[in-house]
Amino acid sequence: MSRIGRFTPHPPAPIGRGEVVLSAADVSVTLGGKRIIAEVGFQVRCGEVLAIIGPNGAGKSTLLGALAGDHPYGGAITLDGREVTAWPNRELALRRAVLRQNNSVSFPFSVVDIVKMGRAPWRSITPVEEDDRIIAEEMLRSDTFRFAERSYTSLSGGERARVSLARAMTQRTGLLLLDEPTAALDINYQEQVLAVARRTARQGNAVVVVLHDLAAAAAYSDRVLMLADGTMRAWGTPEEVLTEELVSEVYRHPVRVGRDADGALAITPIRFPDEDPAATGTHAHPERTPK
């Protein structure tokens, strides 16, 4: 057997729509001696988008890092039926792609070279022509093709975010993990990125995305996982999780939940809670609470 033959993995077998691709059971994460995540459990199926939400410091990015195999954890996280940490690095990269919150590149690589890195796991598996087609497709989809030859370090934060998304998308994995992919983007690109995530799921893949925007989570996800203080407060459909009572309690600010003119779930913060008869003093801004 040739050297290449011994070290070239086979492409992952397709997983049927609706089948579980990622499973977490009693997952806990401790970093720097502090428990960040405690006893979280859920499943992600092919064909769906799972949004992870919660206030600042809830542990959203830490949980996503554990799901990606980047953080040590207690409990079990299985990807394609195997513990995520048991997959060799290249095998793992063929099964899950990650868009991390911080994508720092210190060397002046061109944009196209950064995007090409996403095809590295497929080296010697797919022909160069196929790699080039996928790279061009994702650069066009992310609107980065027009500055393909520019240095990555010369880009704005929003442009870098789109390049990083294109790189993750070129991996063509069955599981896409996105950590706040819309944070540096204007409303146009926010909607484009989330539309890409939803389309990726509808094509039979699974997407897990950390979001701060509750309206976006309601609009684009099939299921929502709500974290608070490192624990799982709720997991279910947007309608089941994004209730006035639960959102107001977890985010410590009153909200109204209803439907907009198009029938979509709408979450609206009550801007001056002490002036709203439905709001309570426990949720009001301290500086606006009557003495």
DSSP secondary structure string for all residues of 58-118: SSHHHHHHHHHT-S--EEEEEETTEEGGGS-HHHHHTTEEEE-S-----S--BHHHHHHGG
Q: How far is CA 223 from CA 207, 232, 238, 249, 284, in A?
A: 11, 13, 6, 20, 29
* Continuous segment of H or E residues that includes residue 45: strand 34-45
Rounded Cα distance, 67 and 270, in Å: 34
Over residues 36-53, the pLDDT tens digits come to: 999 999 999 999 999 999
| pLDDT higher than threshold 80 for residue 2 | no
| pLDDT higher than threshold 70 for residue 291 | no
Average pLDDT of the chain, as a whole number: 89
* Helical axes 157-170 vs 128-141, angle rounded to 10°: 140
CB 221 within 8 A of CB 231: no
Rounded Cα distance, 252 and 43, in Å: 28
Q: Position of tokens 């459990």?
A: 41
Over residues 47-89, the pLDDT tens digits come to: 999 999 999 999 999 999 999 999 999 999 999 999 999 999 9
pLDDT at 261: 85
Helix, strand, coil distribution of the chain in percent, nearest 5: 40, 25, 35
Structure tokens belonging to residue 117: 């890195």
* Distance in Å from the first CA to the final CA of the chain: 81
CB 97 within 8 A of CB 134: no
Helix intervals (H) in the chain:
3-7, 60-68, 89-93, 111-116, 128-141, 157-170, 187-202, 214-220, 238-241, 244-251
pLDDT at 4: 44
Q: What mean pLDDT comes out for the span 207-225?
A: 96
> Taken in order 242, 245, 246, 247, is the CA torsion positive or negative?
positive
**What are the residue ranges spanned by the domains of the chain?**
3-10+18-242, 243-291
Rounded Cα distance, 273 and 266, in Å: 18
Structure tokens belonging to residue 109: 């690589």
Q: How far is CA 261 from CA 29, 132, 258, in A?
A: 42, 43, 10
In what side-by-side order are the strands of the sheet with 223-228? 96-99, 175-179, 206-210, 49-53, 223-228, 231-236
Query: What is the pairing mode between strands 206-210 and 49-53?
Result: parallel
Local structure of 144: helix, strand or coil: coil
| pLDDT higher than threshold 60 for residue 276 | no
Rounded Cα distance, 218 and 51, in Å: 9
pLDDT at 108: 82
pLDDT at 277: 53
10-24, 96-110, 150-164, 209-223, range with the lowest pLDDT: 96-110
Tell how far CA 25 is from the center of its chain: 19
Which CATH number is correct for 3-10+18-242, 3.40.50.300, 3.40.50.10490, 3.30.1050.10, 3.30.390.50?
3.40.50.300
At residue 233 the predicted structure's pLDDT band, cuts being 50, 70 and 90, is very high
pLDDT at 6: 55
| pLDDT higher than threshold 60 for residue 13 | yes
